[in-house]
Structure 1
Amino acid sequence: MRRHRLAFSLALSALLSLSLVTWAVAEPGDAAVRKYFAAETAALTNQPIVTATSIDQWKAKRGEYQEQLKEMLGLQPWPEKTDLQTTVTGTLEKDGVTVEKIHFQSRPGLYVTGNLYRPTKAEGRLPAILYVCGHGKVVEDGVSLGNKTHYQHHGAWFARHGFVCLTIDTLQLGEIQGLHHGTHHLGMWWWVNRGYSPIGVETWNCVRALDLLQARDDVDPERIGVTGRSGGGAYSWYIAALDDRIKAAVPVAGITDLQNHIVDDCINGHCDCMFWTNTPRYDFSFLPAMVAPRPLMIANTDSDPIFPLDGVTRTFFAAREIYSLYDAKANLGLAIVDGGHADTQPLRVPAFHWLCRHLKGESPLIDDPATPMFTKKELKVFGELPADQINTEIQETFVPVAPGAEVPASEIAWKSQAAELKETLLAKSFAGWPNRKSKPQLTQVVADKIGDATITTFDLQTQPGVVLPVILIDNGGQNATLQLADQTDWTALETLTTAAADGKSPNSDAAQTLLKSPGKTYFLVQRGVGSTQWDQDKKKETHIRRRFLQLGQTVHGMRVWDTRRAIQAIESQSPGTPLTIAADGVDAGVAIYATIFEPSVAKVTATHLPADHRNGPILLNVRRFMNMPEAVALAAQNAQIEVDADGAAAVAYAQTVGKQLKWPAKQVTVNK
């Protein structure tokens, strides 16, 4: 182990030459995971744009891309467009501008509050703007007035210049305050299992806002544009990419690339409302590419710390490749002004001009500023919040979860059902796994003895840049066990291997217990544990986990992969040896999923196995099509499953399937 630690220390020293930006090295795995993120990001740069070789190819794929985007937003299947229940609660009029205080329901009980600005006197149908708001919190006397009131000057400007402009509140900062920060700091990692992100709600609200605008007699349905800044800039991207009814767009300070988010730490400053569920593993340049060939201006400042200039310009030039294929480079603009992350007049002027040009056919001199016309309180929509609102709990229902699976009627039906679930897992939950078919190898680092036990430390490379310790305690015998080691196990293993190197017996009870492990017990020190442990500061560890999400992965999903590689390596080293996997809690769920794809596993011994993915493991999208009970049944095709009393609910479905299909009685058991 001492030689292993020395080798790791040398590698770590080399990695420290990397630019770590604001991420200080606090744990031994920080530099290694930093390098991993850089490599994974580089592999996804400008995907899928870089695969486009012709306009015909891009057009042929665009429909598929739109369906993927819907799924990435939690909008697949496409929700029913129910009655909007549009209600105007009051109007304001001043200096030729009329404001309708309006609310609608994008789905029953999901209220969207907004202000609709229009010229008081106008004839015919007018071009319209959907203005989506950033994080401008407005609360007076403990009451949220909605961020629409913070951005009112934009709507007023458009109305004064011949547009209808609907400015809508966001989920978190509206008059009814929902959540944007589930994984950011609230620990709601189960959102990931559902493929839920509040950006899906924001985008759906925009879809329904377009429905509202198109239904109005004073709006030309073929001349609708979108703009917004910061969070609103992001929502502008998503709705423009998804909905072709948007004829011109100006997202302001709302996008940058994976390089900025993952490598340069911008993700730390953004809530969940900025991010999709990146199942197909795309870069954010995908969004402007999907707007092509419609008119799109990317607007930003040169010193924005959360949307840095280098990432913004890289995104622009990547999108221009697709605009060029359409022979529509003139429809893509880039406006950069000086300043930081702020809503400034110099940044508004290019947006106003672009939308006048492409929706009105005019190129006016913008010589009047956008200024507020009303007090914020005047613009409030609700006198009393509706009792039937679901905004505050929309994360529980927005993305449908799969019901419990039916028990198959026959072996043939089960094989079909199992094959479909495995295929869906690979496509929707584990698409971030490496494409590696070669058998992994256990590379011996050091071997020592304590009494009759041999303690051997191996290195296991599970993918390029990821090397995990595997420690074998061999007390003789034919059977082998793979134990998934957590940080507590690692502490005991370090004590044991250090003592073995010194020719001594370990002085801790935990290490003594490990030393007595029966047969051959391999301990896989999991990714993020022991020598690969990253910073455990709650905020920093959270943003590390969020980085995995934007790479189309999860920590638990990659641990499933690592466990598979360990199983394969042990099989290569000891062909035909019956292998049991032992794990506890969420790690037991990891073991179950690895066993689904590794038929050489003879048995899984799981303690405290969660019955519902809400309690882990966290895997992309998994609750959209299955839950832990189905996973246990899939694993039980290959291996015996043994759980303690806490796991009874998790294995009940597998027991029923086994009874129906006449599996051996010991295939799925509960030790009470």
Structure 2
Amino acid sequence: MDGFGPAVDGHYDVADQTRSYLRERARRQFERTHDERRPLDTRGAVESHREHVREWFLDTIGGLPDRPADADVTVTASLERDGHRVDCLTFESRPGFHVTANCYVPDGEGPHPGVLFCCGHVGAAKIDPLNQRACIELVTNGFVVLAVDPVGQGEREQYHDPDTGERVVGGGGGVFEHCYAGQQWRYAGANVAQVFVHDARCALDVLAERDDVDSDRLGVTGTSGGGLQTQYLCLVDGRPAVAAPCCSVTTREEWLRTGKRIDAEQHLTGAITAGIDYADFLAAFAPIPLFVGAAASDQYFPVEGVHEAVERTRRAYDSFDAAGNVRLHVADEPHCSVYDLSEPVFEWFCARLGDGEYVSCADHDVVDGAALHATPAGSVRAAFPDERTVDDLLREDLASRASTESPEATDGESDAGEAVDPTVVRRRVREQFDLDRAAADLRPRRTRTDEGDGLTVEYVWFRTERDPDIVVTGLLASDPDATARRPAVVCFEDGTAELPERSDDVAELAAAYGTVLVVDPRGVGAVADRPIPIPNWVDHENGIYGTEFKLAYDALLLDDSLFGMRVFDVLRAVELLREATGTDSVALVGEGVGASHALYAAGATEHVERVTLRSLEAGFREMATSHEYPYDARLTVDGVLDCDVPLVLDALDVRGVRVDR
């Protein structure tokens, strides 16, 4: 029993199907946003838009906690340099959650202007030589500069083996840690960006409250991920008087065309559907001086989008007669550091915040990294035995939510002893995964039919959505000698790609159920998408930054989920099997991630009477609250805890659906 040949046995080219589907949906939304966008041509319009964007952003990341009254700033070491010193310090953005930083302090009493330096994705973070050089340029010109390690970088690694001290999750200059933690926060309907933004606000407190800093002259800058932190901070906090986000601006439309990925804290669920783009953040800064640094050959933030975003921003600034407060500098570089953007960014800070004209630093005198550590071993987790981690914060937040929320249910009983109403659960599942979306007429077509080993096998394909189209495939196997006449939809983890190795299993299932449909939801088996090799070092398909990650994250930008789309495809397979066999109810059999698809399909329809789940993944709450969990990009979902796995299982039990595990 073979699987399908290339291009659905030569019937349909599906190699780019999921990506094309997502891009077409995004294109239509971009057009709607463009047509409906109100001009930001008055101060009132800009201020109203700023409030709208800020509220949307805060809602998307799950809000922000209160800043501490006392951050317990502790200077652990100081290095005297020529014309300045560097203080190595820690502070607590939340109790037991330490932030490590270097504070560059110029000679003289001040008060000096201050700059918060947000680090991008480089593992060494604040002690990276290029980041040191940028900070030295600023301190030499009279700025107090606070360079901060983001969570997951520098001295703030979150996942390490206590016996070996080595990282359990790492790579990509912090990207992998951010995405690993980000998946957990996403399950809870929040975004790990909340941690970054809160830390940055607390860092701004530390800077502003220094006796040698003029709190009316605060600026913020950073590149790449640090540039996004700069944008987020300036959106929610009105204290910065100058902003300089670098290599972190484009348009979502230009970015989507490239096939690029972006990591968890930079990725905001529903941004495309909500019509929120990078320019909407920048326009919200008006009228404070804004320097946008960009790179002509930036491989992450296309320069065409930079020009478009800055032009939109200038129009908003013009409402304040402040278009001159916006400057774009494009360096002849690839994606690069603040320092690599050269003198214009430092000149801008000196002109807008400083006490004199910019003077280029002749000798940067970069320090060996370990000398700038704020903790003895370069690790907050080693330095503070009771140090909390980013998943501790989420776990405590969820526990706090649970104490104030009650489920909407009236029958049965959940693991927590709460009542379960299967009708409510079904509604939640259908809403969570948008399962009432428009369905295409099935119109199944056979590519071939085989007879052998007592089975009739048909290879079929059918559409589940139309315009843009989604084609799914399935192998329909019938055993005429079987006594059972309750057919089953089978969801192998890799669909029909697991054939012919699973031929005996299919034959056994056909004997047990009479007829089975081994289905390939979009992106699986015979309708798998081609690998998207951007960046070119990605080679793990279902891991962080692989093709599955890319497609799943693109779906989230549309306020949808690839996981939910596949559940929808399974439901359409249920309808096809019901029509093909003339039965009212079917069974579902799933394995691995396919078991998750089968479970949620069963929870969403009344036409399933039995479910077999093999190697069902852990519940989403369990994964969200575990320090280490089995990351799988195929399980990328936002805000799923209200219809978590245990709740759906309980609802099926109340309905009398037999569940075998």
Which TM-score tier does this pair reach, normalised by the shorter chain? 0.7 to 0.9
- Cα deviation, 1:264-313, whole Å, max 9, x if unaligned, reads 2432xx65554445577555444334434443221112123333323433
In the alignment, which of 198, 202, 208 is matched to residue 214 of structure 1? 208
How much does 1:336 deviate? 0.7
User: SS at the partner of 1:521?
Assistant: strand
Q: In structure 2, what residue type is equivalent to 1:549?
A: Y
Question: Cα–Cα, structure 1 residues 67 and 398, in superposed 2: closer, same or farther, change >3 Å?
Answer: farther
Query: In structure 1, what is the equivalent of residue 163 of structure 2?
Result: none
In the alignment, which of 591, 601, 620 is matched to residue 584 of structure 1? 591
> Partners of 2:423 and 2:319 in 1: how far apart?
40
Report 1:391-540 matches (<5 A). 393-398=389-394, 400-401=397-398, 410-411=410-411, 430=433, 433=434, 436-438=437-439, 440-446=441-447, 448=449, 450=451, 454-463=456-465, 464-475=468-479, 479-487=486-494, 489-492=496-499, 509-510=504-505, 512-513=507-508, 515-516=510-511, 518-534=513-529, 538-540=539-541
Question: Cα–Cα, structure 1 residues 90 and 447, in superposed 2: closer, same or farther, change >3 Å?
Answer: closer
Q: In structure 2, what residue type is equivalent to 1:105?
A: E
How much does 1:395 deviate? 3.6
Query: In structure 1, what is the equivalent of residue 306 of structure 2?
Result: 312
Query: In structure 2, what is the equivalent of residue 204 of structure 1?
Result: 198
How much does 1:196 deviate? 6.9
> Partners of 2:569 and 2:487 in 1: how far apart?
18
Contact 2:495 2:524 in 1 (8 A): no
Are residues 1:628 and 2:645 paired?
yes
Of residues 172-181 and 200-209 in structure 1, the stretch that sits farther from structure 2 once superposed is 172-181
User: SS at the partner of 2:151?
Assistant: coil
Are residues 1:107 and 2:114 paired?
no
Question: Cα–Cα, structure 1 residues 541 and 346, in superposed 2: closer, same or farther, change >3 Å?
Answer: closer
- Cα deviation, 1:180-202, whole Å, max 9, x if unaligned, reads 34478979955643457654433
> Partners of 2:474 and 2:226 in 1: how far apart?
48
Question: Cα–Cα, structure 1 residues 600 and 254, in superposed 2: closer, same or farther, change >3 Å?
Answer: same
> Partners of 1:389 and 1:67 in 2: how far apart?
37
Question: Cα–Cα, structure 1 residues 285 and 635, in superposed 2: closer, same or farther, change >3 Å?
Answer: farther
In the alignment, which of 363, 375, 383 is matched to residue 367 of structure 2? 375
How much does 1:516 deviate? 3.2
How much does 1:227 deviate? 0.5
How much does 1:440 deviate? 3.7
Question: Where does structure 2 lack aligned partners over 5 or more consecutive residues?
Answer: 159-169, 532-537, 624-629
> Partners of 1:49 and 1:488 in 2: how far apart?
40
Q: In structure 2, what residue type is equivalent to 1:642?
A: R
Are residues 1:70 and 2:58 paired?
yes
Are residues 1:366 and 2:358 paired?
yes
Query: In structure 2, what is the equivalent of residue 558 of structure 1?
Result: 565
Of residues 57-66 and 103-112 in structure 1, the stretch that sits farther from structure 2 once superposed is 57-66
Are residues 1:231 and 2:231 paired?
no
Contact 1:480 1:520 in 2 (8 A): yes
Contact 2:493 2:592 in 1 (8 A): no
How much does 1:218 deviate? 3.5
> Partners of 1:231 and 1:612 in 2: how far apart?
31
User: SS at the partner of 1:593?
Assistant: helix
Contact 1:110 1:391 in 2 (8 A): yes
Q: In structure 2, what residue type is equivalent to 1:532?
A: V
Are residues 1:598 and 2:605 paired?
yes
Question: Cα–Cα, structure 1 residues 424 and 446, in superposed 2: closer, same or farther, change >3 Å?
Answer: closer
Of residues 85-94 and 62-71 in structure 1, the stretch that sits farther from structure 2 once superposed is 62-71
How much does 1:174 deviate? 2.0
Contact 1:3 1:445 in 2 (8 A): no
How much does 1:467 deviate? 0.4
Contact 1:197 1:276 in 2 (8 A): yes
Contact 1:4 1:445 in 2 (8 A): no
> Partners of 2:9 and 2:313 in 1: how far apart?
42
Q: In structure 1, what residue type is equivalent to 2:133?
A: H
Query: In structure 1, what is the equivalent of residue 162 of structure 2?
Result: none
> Partners of 2:387 and 2:130 in 1: how far apart?
20
- Cα deviation, 1:54-77, whole Å, max 9, x if unaligned, reads 44677546445324323544x436
Question: Cα–Cα, structure 1 residues 409 and 485, in superposed 2: closer, same or farther, change >3 Å?
Answer: closer
Query: In structure 2, what is the equivalent of residue 669 of structure 1?
Result: none
Question: Cα–Cα, structure 1 residues 643 and 421, in superposed 2: closer, same or farther, change >3 Å?
Answer: closer
Query: In structure 2, what is the equivalent of residue 129 of structure 1?
Result: 115
Contact 1:12 1:31 in 2 (8 A): no
Are residues 1:89 and 2:76 paired?
yes
> Partners of 1:640 and 1:200 in 2: how far apart?
42
Q: In structure 1, what residue type is equivalent to 2:17?
A: A
- Cα deviation, 1:184-226, whole Å, max 9, x if unaligned, reads 8979955643457654433221111112223333334343221
Contact 2:53 2:280 in 1 (8 A): no
User: SS at the partner of 1:210?
Assistant: helix
Query: In structure 2, what is the equivalent of residue 388 of structure 1?
Result: 384
> Partners of 2:338 and 2:208 in 1: how far apart?
30
Are residues 1:156 and 2:136 paired?
yes
Query: In structure 1, what is the equivalent of residue 285 of structure 2?
Result: 291
Question: Cα–Cα, structure 1 residues 71 and 398, in superposed 2: closer, same or farther, change >3 Å?
Answer: farther
Q: In structure 1, what residue type is equivalent to 2:113?
A: P
User: SS at the partner of 1:291?
Assistant: coil
Question: Cα–Cα, structure 1 residues 521 and 51, in superposed 2: closer, same or farther, change >3 Å?
Answer: same
> Partners of 1:641 and 1:370 in 2: how far apart?
75
Are residues 1:643 and 2:643 paired?
no
Contact 1:302 1:337 in 2 (8 A): yes
Query: In structure 2, what is the equivalent of residue 661 of structure 1?
Result: none
Q: In structure 2, what residue type is equivalent to 1:368?
A: S
Q: In structure 2, what residue type is equivalent to 1:443?
A: P
Question: Cα–Cα, structure 1 residues 279 and 251, in superposed 2: closer, same or farther, change >3 Å?
Answer: closer
Question: Cα–Cα, structure 1 residues 149 and 66, in superposed 2: closer, same or farther, change >3 Å?
Answer: same
Q: In structure 2, what residue type is equivalent to 1:382?
A: T
Contact 1:47 1:286 in 2 (8 A): no
Report 1:138-217 matches (<5 A). 138=124, 146-147=126-127, 150-178=130-158, 180-182=174-176, 190=184, 192-194=186-188, 199-217=193-211
How much does 1:86 deviate? 0.8
Q: In structure 2, what residue type is equivalent to 1:244?
A: G
Size of the alignment, in residue pairs?
A: 602
User: SS at the partner of 1:397?
Assistant: helix
How much does 1:446 deviate? 4.6
> Partners of 1:2 and 1:187 in 2: how far apart?
40
How much does 1:458 deviate? 3.4
Query: In structure 2, what is the equivalent of residue 612 of structure 1?
Result: 619
Of residues 34-43 and 524-533 in structure 1, the stretch that sits farther from structure 2 once superposed is 34-43
How much does 1:131 deviate? 0.8
TM-score by length of 1: 0.75
Of residues 466-475 and 615-624 in structure 1, the stretch that sits farther from structure 2 once superposed is 615-624
- Cα deviation, 1:74-131, whole Å, max 9, x if unaligned, reads x4363563631111224444444343332101112222122223333244x4432111
> Partners of 2:319 and 2:516 in 1: how far apart?
58
Query: In structure 1, what is the equivalent of residue 237 of structure 2?
Result: 243
- Cα deviation, 1:633-659, whole Å, max 9, x if unaligned, reads 34556x533333xx4xxxxxxxxxxxx
Contact 1:149 1:379 in 2 (8 A): no
> For the aligned residues, what is the CA RMSD?
4.3
> Partners of 1:54 and 1:608 in 2: how far apart?
53
Of residues 211-220 and 618-627 in structure 1, the stretch that sits farther from structure 2 once superposed is 618-627
> Partners of 2:247 and 2:210 in 1: how far apart?
30
> Partners of 2:263 and 2:329 in 1: how far apart?
25
User: SS at the partner of 2:120?
Assistant: coil
Question: Cα–Cα, structure 1 residues 37 and 272, in superposed 2: closer, same or farther, change >3 Å?
Answer: same
TM-score by length of 2: 0.76
The alignment-based identity, stated in percent, is: 22
> Partners of 2:541 and 2:494 in 1: how far apart?
18
